[in-house]
């Protein structure tokens, strides 16, 4: 089967010439990994290694996805085709080519498209869908993955990534396509007129909306020095533009401001990893900066470093999210701006601390599965019935949304609000770490962390499935010395608590396990939707942060032994 698929590609007359030599030079291991399966949609769309093969991101697999999406659009009638699709892309290898090719495929189906003239952030693509009243959107990006990756995200008419029930309709159509190599992207001259290039006019409206999130516009912006890095990606222009217009004092890490698809000047473009801050830290020390802000390549995630007691403390997404919650909700309350039925959204693998802060301000928290599309889905629901009013949404993976004129994580919004918060608290003699420590004093110390087990290829995928299956059936009663007091299985939709089993409601089925422990901690486990990894999430509560850190190490060791 693998050899047959390989030879079909190698000898197909429509194979893009750029892939011919790569295929010819493949060894057996490379053939197997490139052809053992068909690349699939996960929690963040379709994402994978660049290169030829059915299990790779390339012109042919992108075209196959676009035909399936086009068929889905056509099923919704002429109005959907006229409303069209907004298309954005980041700085990665082949991103622009994939974006333009997508527009051409859609045009052959009579579908209008609006394609950005150059790289733009993912949140601006989400905004453009809403701005043009499009039927949906496409974003070409691999988010925070290494340079070898690219990807393809689909959006609905609300600017939200397709939720599973809609994505499945596209996937079914994509999977029914037998020969991705037979698909061409050759619209006629008349069909090509359906492709519209967009640019500055969308930028300006997006910027105006971002500027509208300010809560204390008169805060002293000269008090805080910011070091900012877009990690070679799409945050470079919008964040600088916003800071320049408002007068924030920042220094950009110029070596990381070029849209370099090889990410030459950073060890990693992922703000969840320390390597993303290496050069920014050198800048910060030289400039005596108060905060460091680092965005991932498609500008939906933001990482934070804070000068505190003579060193720079790198915050997790849970920690920066908690600080933003405290700042935003406290200011909404103080200014009499809190809506009547406020609601905050986070996920089942996000820290408990944010929920406790929200409760202090009378804000309800609703949890979703991992993936910001589920938060976007909730926003759309309450936008219609107005039963609750959105005040904040975030994930532990360094992404948040301040105002929902965008329906995805929005790093430019987060960079603005975090800078404002830093200025506000500095006027009180506090760093953002002081604010976080105050929250620990108030609600208890939380150490949130994530580990992962990378297992590539067919064997790796099978191993990950076995780990989840074994844990699912083992009915753990203890982890280390802690008692498991509640177990949630999001795939089988069940809860086990005090020896009794009940139904877990309100979530789409997903391969996630979560263990609640008798010390107020929890551990969650799930396979990554976009990478060959099994992920382990820890929210560990302690009497002090040192106690929480020590307990975290114990729990991580216990889990490592369980999955050996």
Burial status of residue 329 (CB atoms within 10 A of its CB: 0-12, 13-18, 19 or more): buried
Per the annotation, the verdict on 400 as an active-site residue is no
Count CB-CB contacts under 10 A for residue 430.
16
Token pair recorded at residue 454: 């990378």
Alpha-carbon distances, residue 172 vs 107, 165, 325, 367 (angstroms): 21, 11, 39, 28
Q: How far apart are CA 506 and CA 509, in angstroms?
A: 9
Return d(Cα 192, Cα 105) in angstroms, integer.
Answer: 10
Q: How far separated are the first and last CA of the chain, in Å rounded?
A: 32
Distance, CA of 215 to CA of 331 (rounded, Å): 7
Query: 342 near 389, Cβ under 8 Å?
Result: yes
476-479 contacts, C-beta under 8 A, 24 or more apart? 476/515, 476/562, 479/515, 479/517, 479/523, 479/555, 479/558, 479/559, 479/562
Please answer whether residues 444 and 547 qualify as being in contact, where contact means their C-beta atoms are separated by less than 8 angstroms.
no
- Cα 379 to its chain centre, rounded Å, is 17
Is the Cβ–Cβ distance between 153 and 141 less than 8 Å? yes
Contact of 316 with 325, CB cutoff 8 Å: no
Q: Which candidate in 34, 95, 126, 143 is catalytic?
A: 143
Please tell me the distance from the alpha carbon of residue 272 to that of residue 317, in angstroms, as a whole number. 8
Q: Which helix or strand (DSSP H or E) is residue 285 part of?
A: helix 278-287
Q: Which of 381, 391, 405 is nearest to 341 (CA)?
A: 391
> Can you read off the two tokens belonging to residue 379?
């926003």
Task: Report the relative pairing of strands 136-140 and 149-155 from DSSP bridges.
Answer: antiparallel
The tokens describing 440, both together, are 């620990």
For residue 263, give both structure tokens: 């990410």
- Both tokens assigned to 559: 């889990």
Which residue in the block uniquely carries the two structure tokens 């005596």? 288
> Could you list the active site residues?
143
């Amino acid at each position: 089967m693998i050899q047959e698929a390989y030879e079909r590609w190698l000898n197909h007359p429509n194979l893009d010439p750029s892939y011919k030599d790569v295929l010819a030079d493949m060894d057996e291991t490379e053939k197997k990994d490139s052809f053992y399966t068909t690349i699939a949609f996960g929690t963040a769309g379709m994402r994978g290694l660049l290169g030829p093969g059915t299990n790779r991101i390339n012109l042919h697999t992108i075209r196959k996805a676009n035909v399936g999406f086009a068929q889905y659009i056509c099923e919704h009638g002429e109005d959907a085709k006229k409303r069209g699709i907004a298309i954005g892309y980041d700085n990665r290898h082949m991103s622009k080519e994939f974006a333009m090719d997508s527009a051409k495929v859609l045009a052959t189906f009579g579908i209008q498209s609006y394609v950005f003239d150059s790289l733009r952030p993912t949140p601006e693509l989400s905004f453009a869908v809403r701005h043009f009243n499009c039927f949906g959107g496409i974003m070409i990006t691999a988010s925070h993955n290494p340079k070898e990756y690219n990807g393809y995200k689909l959006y609905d008419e609300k600017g939200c990534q397709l939720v599973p029930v809609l994505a499945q309709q596209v996937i079914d159509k994509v999977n029914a396509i037998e020969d991705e190599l037979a698909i061409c992207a050759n619209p006629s001259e008349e069909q090509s007129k359906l492709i519209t290039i967009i640019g500055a006019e969308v930028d300006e409206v997006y910027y105006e909306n971002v500027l509208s999130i300010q809560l204390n516009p008169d805060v002293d912006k000269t008090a805080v020095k910011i070091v900012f890095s877009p990690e070679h990606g799409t945050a470079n222009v919008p964040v600088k533009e916003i800071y320049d217009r408002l007068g924030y004092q920042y220094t950009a890490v110029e070596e990381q401001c070029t849209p370099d698809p090889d990410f030459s000047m950073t060890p990693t473009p992922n703000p969840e990893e320390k390597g993303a801050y290496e050069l920014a830290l050198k800048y910060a020390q030289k400039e005596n900066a108060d905060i460091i802000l680092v965005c991932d390549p498609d500008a939906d995630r933001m990482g934070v470093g804070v000068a505190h007691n003579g060193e720079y403390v790198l915050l997790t997404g849970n920690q920066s999210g908690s600080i933003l919650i405290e700042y935003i909700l406290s200011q909404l309350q103080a200014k009499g701006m809190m809506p009547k039925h406020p609601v905050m959204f986070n996920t089942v693998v996000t820290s408990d601390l944010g929920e406790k802060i929200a409760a202090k301000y009378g804000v309800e928290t609703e949890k979703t599965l991992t993936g910001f599309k589920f938060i976007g889905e909730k926003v759309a629901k309450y936008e219609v019935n107005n039963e609750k009013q959105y005040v904040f949404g975030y994930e532990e993976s360094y992404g948040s949304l301040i105002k929902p004129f965008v329906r995805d994580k929005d790093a430019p919004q987060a960079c603005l609000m975090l800078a404002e918060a830093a200025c506000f608290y500095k006027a009180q003699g506090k760093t953002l770490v002081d604010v976080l420590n105050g929250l620990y004093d108030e609600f208890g110390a939380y150490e949130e962390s994530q580990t992962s087990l990378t297992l590539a290829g067919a064997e790796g995928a099978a191993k990950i499935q076995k780990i989840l299956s074994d844990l699912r059936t083992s009915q753990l009663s203890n982890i280390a010395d802690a008692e498991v007091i509640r177990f949630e299985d999001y795939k089988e939709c069940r809860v086990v608590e005090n020896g009794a089993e009940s139904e877990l409601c309100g979530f789409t089925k997903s391969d996630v396990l979560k263990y609640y422990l008798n010390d107020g901690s929890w551990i969650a486990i799930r396979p990554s939707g976009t990478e060959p990894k099994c992920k382990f999430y820890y929210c560990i509560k302690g009497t002090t942060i040192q106690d929480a850190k020590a307990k975290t190490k114990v729990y991580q060791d216990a889990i490592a032994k369980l999955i050996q």
